[in-house]
Amino acid sequence: MELKVWVEGVARVVCGLSMNTSCQDVVIALAKSLGQTGRYILLVKRPGQERQLLPGDRPLQHLSRLGAPEVRFVLRRTGPSRGGGGAGAAPGSPARPKRTKPSRARSPSPGAPDPDPLSGPKEEAFRQVLQQHGRLQDLQAQLRALQREAEVWERPAHLAAGPARVSEGALEALRALEALGDQEGGPGGPAGPGAAAEAQRGRPDAAPSQLRSSTEAHGRRIQELHARAAQLEQELQQAEEEAPRPLEEALQQRQADDLQEALSGTQRDLRRREEKLQGGREEVEEVEEVEELEELDRELRQCKLQLFILQSGGPPRTAASARRSRSAVRHHMVEQGDAA
């Protein structure tokens, strides 16, 4: 996050801040970027108001609570360095700096805090919650002041003593509430404080009723802001709870896709192996049949040769030899017929 600080009429931007960055860290970073030693203070300016920040204050929290358009941070040098002065030095009376054209210069970020871990919608919701809490505190303080003014007006002993003095205090409180109401609601926001202040200028005797009506209006506004802050906190918590769900669903879907792809590859590999095995079996059977046919063909040729020798009147044989030859021929013929 960034913070714009005016240094001698020049706007400088300090980067890398978080909601917990202190005023002292911002002042140290600006002093290092300027290259000048001395004692500095950080002022927060609003229309008609100027206040010095303490070393432990958080500038970004002030900015989110008061609103960026109305707030301006100013770095002022109060004197020479005395043993490494800090951010909370007492203000002096320096000479009025010469006004120059604002330029945007970036200063190095302080090294103390780390950047805010929240990002995107979570950071915006967190800033809205802080801003709503700050406005609630301001409205409650103004409400207590109005209640005290109303109690003073309702006391009979003080009606004749000083109505003018009390009405002036009520007017100041009503003007402050009007500014807060305009900042919060805009053109369409509640117009009670502004109308009450106008009526108070013309009719001092109507101050008690105006104070009561303004108190009731701002009490309702405080309740609305409380409800809005609770709703923002609930939405932030719900967003934090629902954030991991899409990641888990995507991881489960990816694992399922990987398993399905692995299963499909295994099935394809198994089918290819079965086809190869079936083809190998068929080749083995064909080879065995071919070998058996060749063997039978050789035996048939041998039988035919022996039969031809017998029919052509070969060398004389004994009766036993002739019987064995005929028996062998018949046996081969039977085998040939079975094979066919």
Contact 97, 9 (CB under 8 A): yes
pLDDT tens-digit series, residues 60-97: 887 777 766 677 888 888 866 544 434 443 333 343 44
> What are 262's two structure tokens?
């692995």
> According to the model, what pLDDT value does residue 109 have?
47
pLDDT tens-digit series, residues 19-67: 888 888 888 888 888 887 778 888 888 777 888 888 888 888 877 777 6
**CA-CA distance, 67 to 183, in Å (whole number)?**
8
Q: Which of 47, 36, 45 is nearest to 77 (CA)?
A: 36
Contact 210, 218 (CB under 8 A): no
pLDDT tens-digit series, residues 311-335: 887 554 555 565 666 666 566 666 6
Q: Tokens 């022996």, residue?
A: 306
Q: Tokens 């929290």, residue?
A: 61
CATH among 3.10.20.90, 3.90.1150.10, 3.40.50.20, 1.10.3720.10 for 3-107: 3.10.20.90
**Average pLDDT over every residue of 3-16:** 83
Q: Is 14 helix (H, G, I), strand (E, B) or coil?
A: strand
Contact 10, 98 (CB under 8 A): no
242-to-57, 126, 247, 275 alpha-carbon distances in Å = 34, 17, 10, 51
pLDDT tens-digit series, residues 163-202: 444 445 556 666 666 665 555 544 444 444 444 444 444 4
Determine how β-strand 72-79 pairs with β-strand 105-107.
Answer: unpaired
pLDDT tens-digit series, residues 83-141: 443 444 333 334 344 444 444 444 444 444 444 444 566 777 777 777 777 778 778 88
Q: Which of 85, 24, 86 is nearest to 57 (CA)?
A: 24
